[in-house]
Amino acid sequence: MSKQNKKVHIYLPFFLICFAFLVIVARLYSLQIIEHEEFKQQVSKSQVKKIDILPERGIIYDRNLEKLAINIPSYSLYAYPKKISHPEEVAGELSSILGMKKSWLVKQLKKEKVFLWLERKLPLIEKEMI
């Protein structure tokens, strides 16, 4: 083999590897920089939002098929006092619906608590009015 031939055998694989590396880098640049918005939109379309749905508790029967325990829907009313900017207005509206004293509701809504229960086992009619 001549010197010229040996150089070709050495440099050719080197240049092929460099060329392949450049092609890969160019493709990665294209995918990550140029086309990333398109892929971002495709991913957002294909994402699934998981929502846990809790089943209702069943009716409990005794051995004679008489109901021992049944489901009765009930509702609760709570507030985040720190997020309420006008407690007097809110208390006025709620007191007329719930039949509570406005002064007590104002006092409760002005507390420095993060979370506050106002009413438990609220009837469906009052819940819908709120």
Share of the chain above pLDDT 90, in %: 19
Burial of 79 per CB tally in 10 Å (0-12, 13-18, 19+) = buried
* pTM score of the predicted model: 0.45
pLDDT confidence of residue 20: 97
Q: Give me 13's structure tokens.
A: 């694989």
Query: Collapsing DSSP states into helix, strand and coil, what is residue 119?
Result: strand
| Whether pLDDT at 107 is above 80 | yes
81 CB contacts (<8 Å, ≥6 apart)? 87, 108, 109, 110, 111, 112, 113, 114, 116
At 121, the pLDDT band (50, 70, 90 cuts) reads confident
Comparing 6-10, 59-63, 84-88, 100-104, the range with the smallest average pLDDT is 6-10
| Closest by CA position to 107, among listed 81, 130, 127 | 81
Q: What's the pLDDT tens digit per position in 15-25?
A: 999 999 999 99
Cα(108)–Cα(116) distance, rounded to whole angstroms?
8
Q: Which amino acid appears at position 43 of this protein?
A: V
| Closest by CA position to 104, among listed 113, 116, 95 | 95
| Whether pLDDT at 1 is above 70 | no
Q: What's the pLDDT tens digit per position in 24-76?
A: 999 999 999 998 888 888 888 888 778 888 787 888 999 999 999 988 878 88
